[in-house]
Amino acid sequence: MPIFLSMIALQAEGELYLYDNDTELMKRSDWGDDMIRWTFSHILMFRFTEQIGAALITQFRTRRNFTNFDEHANNQNVMHYQSRILDRDKPLRLEFYRVAAALTYKF
């Protein structure tokens, strides 16, 4: 049974928090909340027969870099958001997020 590659696609999704409660002590930009979070998806669609197909999707996303994250890595408690310091030289990093597969059948 031959397998045909029927589609290759790239999907980009952006997410931005739109709340606005900046004060003199707390600013969104201090923690990187003013930056868009991106998710990039690579989609491959395969066709096995006229009725059976499959999709393979891998996703990568951007995450914020904090300069003091390593200090809290061995701590059992989650680092509190007010103690995070955004790395201004490299504010974002790209990391693997997830992989998904879907099988379709047409009646």
Mean pLDDT per 10-residue interval, the chain, length 107 residues: 91 86 63 86 95 97 79 58 77 94 95
pLDDT number for residue 24: 55
Max CA separation in the chain (angstroms) = 65
Count of Cβ atoms closer than 10 Å to residue 68 Cβ: 12
CA–CA gap between residue 63 and residue 78 (Å, rounded): 16
pTM of this prediction?
A: 0.72
Domain parsing of the chain, residue ranges: 4-16+27-105
CB burial of 41-53 (b: ≥16 within 10 Å; e: otherwise) equals bebebebeeeeeb
Report pLDDT for 107. Answer: 92
